[in-house]
Structure 1
Amino acid sequence: MRAITITEPGGPEALVWTHVPDPEPGPGEVIVEVRASAVNRADLLQRQGHYPPPPGASAYPGLECSGTVRALGPGVTGWSVGQEVCALLAGGGYAEQVAVPAGQLLPVPAGVDLVDAAALPEVASTVWSNVVDLARLVEGDTLLVHGGGSGIGTFAIQLGVALGATVVVTARSAKHERLRELGAAHTVDYREQDFVDEVRRVTDGRGADVILDIMGASYLPRNVAALATGGRLVVIGMQGGRKGELDLGMLLTKRAAVHATALRSRPVEEKAAIVRGVREQVWPLVEAGRIRPVVHARVDMADAAAAHRLVETNDHLGKVLLVR
């Protein structure tokens, strides 16, 4: 088969479409004939040499895909050859085929195009596991989403709205109209406005019940300041650095919580549990049309370098897909 390999850590030019050995299904695994994958920030970090795949995972980038089942490994039940699926991966999505633990497979939701389905597994798993399963977002809560124009952000807006939350997002002003169309009640231009002041203003001083943060250190003090009493901050990225100052006094006064999580490195059993939750609680919302994949562009998989350059500009809204 062919796959995108990383010749050496570096820029997009390090991504090379070349022939590699076909994957073989191990016990409990399924081989998926890939129709599309998606570009995630983790792929850019892996290409740069900063985010190696976990032990046992494919060396090729790609944390999600869509396609058809090609082969079943020993012990796999409930799936059939030729079935259209999408999947959460630890790596290997930038390829013609990929081996996937069966517990990380999802059926393509009714009404969703097979290619566009590649935009769903990673964001759905990340947002649901953090915002719903961990931070316990409920109807009537205020959800603050940083990076509202990203794949994570566009999905979080829709899921928050579907669950009855009021969603506030930070993003470049050029993206605000589209984000409001997705359901964001309030948009904040992080380059011109203080999101703490804006969150307090739109909540009558109460603050956000749940914050989904991709920035990390640079936003930590302000995120805690923006939390409501009993609020939950979930950090899922470090685009703003690894080390920040945490005001424990403010955290104690608010009886608030700070969580930090990662998805890729979790054990297979934990990922399978998350995928089950997504299938049970999120897929019905997708099939009802209340959540949809937001796709900025489709790029030929062999030209993954161009897709990485596009994502690095931060001009996109939603997901950039790699299509075969």
Structure 2
Amino acid sequence: MSVDTTATAVNPRVVMTASGEPETCIVTGQESRPTARPGKVVVRVEAAGVSYAEVQMLQHLHPFPPRFPFVPGYDLVGRIVETGPGVTGWSVGDRVAAMPRQGAWQEYVEVPAKILAPVPAHLDAAVAVSLITNGVTAYQMLHRLARLAPGDTVLVHGASGGVGTLLTQLAVHHGLRVLGTASPAKHDAVRELGAEPLDYRDPDLAGTVRGPAPDGVRAVFDHIGGRGLDAGWAMLADGGVLVSFDSSVAGYRPGQWFRPHVPALRRTVVRWAARLLGLTRGRRQTMYYVKPGEHFNADLAELYRLVDEGVLRPEIAGRHALHEAPAAVRALLDGTTVGKHVLIP
């Protein structure tokens, strides 16, 4: 066990108290700094991501809803200030990334050592944290699920969002033609990423897509779910893939945590069975959920390399102090920004 004696004993943090509006249900406070238990470390957070998962949690509509009150925060970058008994391979002062799924919105957080990944010392903390959940999601959907070749055309829904901006850049770098949906106000930003913007509110989006892709697109990356998955399925070329990586919770009552996600699961199972029977013209639908594992650290390291080479330019929509967490969540709810919001303790 090792401890950084310069670490303070006080731990400022953000707490989500209940379902409701961010301005009333997200509050700041403080507790004592945690102590590292066996197999864990305490990290002093440099940056923590704000994601759509927190929007879902606030409305108690996340597929794995924590019990209120709790400290939100899906991912973080920081430095180890304490290692617990039995921790090997990590030392006080190491700069690390982690995806604890909750708890990152505080100055000090205890996390299992087994989920840590190294972070280059020179990399901006906000840039680094934007690549943990969002970047690995984009990279793995593109390179480990979709199996695409340069010259293919793909559709990226939400091309101006945290995942969408990175997915679009990675796809363009891979030589793909990218059609990206966004609100008209964000079309210039989508063009700068190398994609061809489309209005996500277009009532005949499928017909519009058939203009540049008469035979359909090779992949659709969908974060909306529901009936949008039927439209995405209809846009696929023979042998194409529809990747569902989230579900919109708009229109659902707080507490109906399972309802937004059931349609995607049901459609995935039905189309899997139809594909086994040879009824889908080779098309397939799959669901993606980012998780630590065999490829996570390697893919994150590759993303950091691409940033260093100038291939990838994460869009940081805003850098906020902990007490500004309600404003960051409100910005996601309103959909007015491009890229990733980050908290800086």
TM-score bracket for the superposition, by shorter chain length? 0.7 to 0.9
Query: C-alpha separation between the residues in 2 aligned to 1:190 and 1:51?
Result: 23
Query: C-alpha separation between the residues in 2 aligned to 1:88 and 1:189?
Result: 32
Which has more radius of gyration? 2
Task: Render the CA deviation track for 1:143-189: whole Å, top value 9, x for unaligned.
Answer: 211011110100101111222222111001111111111221x1101
Q: 1:105 to 1:167 in 2, by over 3 A?
A: farther
2:240 counterpart (226, 231, 238)? 231
Q: How does 1:80-119 map to 2 (within 5 A)?
A: 80-109=91-120, 112-119=123-130
Q: How does 1:24-63 map to 2 (within 5 A)?
A: 24-51=35-62, 59-63=70-74
Specify every segment of 5 or more residues in structure 2 that has no aligned partner in the other structure, as ranges: 1-10, 250-259
Q: How does 1:1-324 map to 2 (within 5 A)?
A: 1-12=11-22, 13-51=24-62, 59-109=70-120, 112-184=123-195, 186-192=196-202, 194-203=204-213, 205-239=214-248, 241-242=260-261, 243=263, 252-263=279-290, 266=291, 271-324=292-345
Tell me which moved more, 109-118 or 170-179.
Answer: 109-118
Q: CA deviation at 1:230?
A: 0.8
Say how many residue pairs are matched: 315
Q: 1:116 to 1:298 in 2, by over 3 A?
A: same
Is the contact between residue 126 and residue 316 of structure 2 (CA under 8 Å) also seen in structure 1? no
Q: CA deviation at 1:94?
A: 0.7
Residue 197 of structure 2 aligns to which amino acid in structure 1?
Answer: T
Query: C-alpha separation between the residues in 1 aligned to 2:303 and 2:244?
Result: 21
Give aligned-pair identity as a percent.
Answer: 34
Residue 9 of structure 1 aligns to which amino acid in structure 2?
Answer: S
Residue 234 of structure 1 aligns to which amino acid in structure 2?
Answer: V
Task: Render the CA deviation track for 1:114-155: whole Å, top value 9, x for unaligned.
Answer: 233222211012122322212223333222110111101001
Query: C-alpha separation between the residues in 1 aligned to 2:62 and 2:70?
Result: 11
SS of 2:135's equivalent in the other structure is helix
Q: 1:320 to 1:207 in 2, by over 3 A?
A: same
Q: CA deviation at 1:231?
A: 0.7
Is the contact between residue 84 and residue 114 of structure 1 (CA under 8 Å) also seen in structure 2? no
Task: Render the CA deviation track for 1:87-122: whole Å, top value 9, x for unaligned.
Answer: 222211111112233343333347531233222211
Q: CA deviation at 1:7?
A: 2.0
Query: C-alpha separation between the residues in 1 aligned to 2:152 and 2:114?
Result: 31
Is the contact between residue 111 and residue 287 of structure 1 (CA under 8 Å) also seen in structure 2? no
Query: C-alpha separation between the residues in 2 aligned to 1:4 and 1:37?
Result: 11
Q: 1:301 to 1:170 in 2, by over 3 A?
A: same
SS of 1:16's equivalent in the other structure is strand
SS of 1:91's equivalent in the other structure is coil
Q: 1:218 to 1:101 in 2, by over 3 A?
A: same
Residue 159 of structure 1 aligns to which amino acid in structure 2?
Answer: L
Q: CA deviation at 1:304?
A: 0.8
CA RMSD in angstroms comes to 2.6
TM-score scaled by length of structure 1: 0.87
Query: C-alpha separation between the residues in 2 aligned to 1:192 and 1:8?
Result: 35
Residue 291 of structure 1 aligns to which amino acid in structure 2?
Answer: L
Query: C-alpha separation between the residues in 2 aligned to 1:16 and 1:190?
Result: 34
Is the contact between residue 50 and residue 328 of structure 2 (CA under 8 Å) also seen in structure 1? yes
Query: C-alpha separation between the residues in 2 aligned to 1:75 and 1:211?
Result: 44
SS of 1:50's equivalent in the other structure is coil
SS of 1:254's equivalent in the other structure is coil
Is the contact between residue 131 and residue 300 of structure 2 (CA under 8 Å) also seen in structure 1? no
Tell me which moved more, 64-73 or 234-243.
Answer: 234-243
Is the contact between residue 60 and residue 92 of structure 1 (CA under 8 Å) also seen in structure 2? yes
SS of 1:9's equivalent in the other structure is coil
Query: C-alpha separation between the residues in 1 aligned to 2:141 and 2:279?
Result: 22
Q: CA deviation at 1:55?
A: 7.8
TM-score scaled by length of structure 2: 0.82
SS of 2:125's equivalent in the other structure is coil
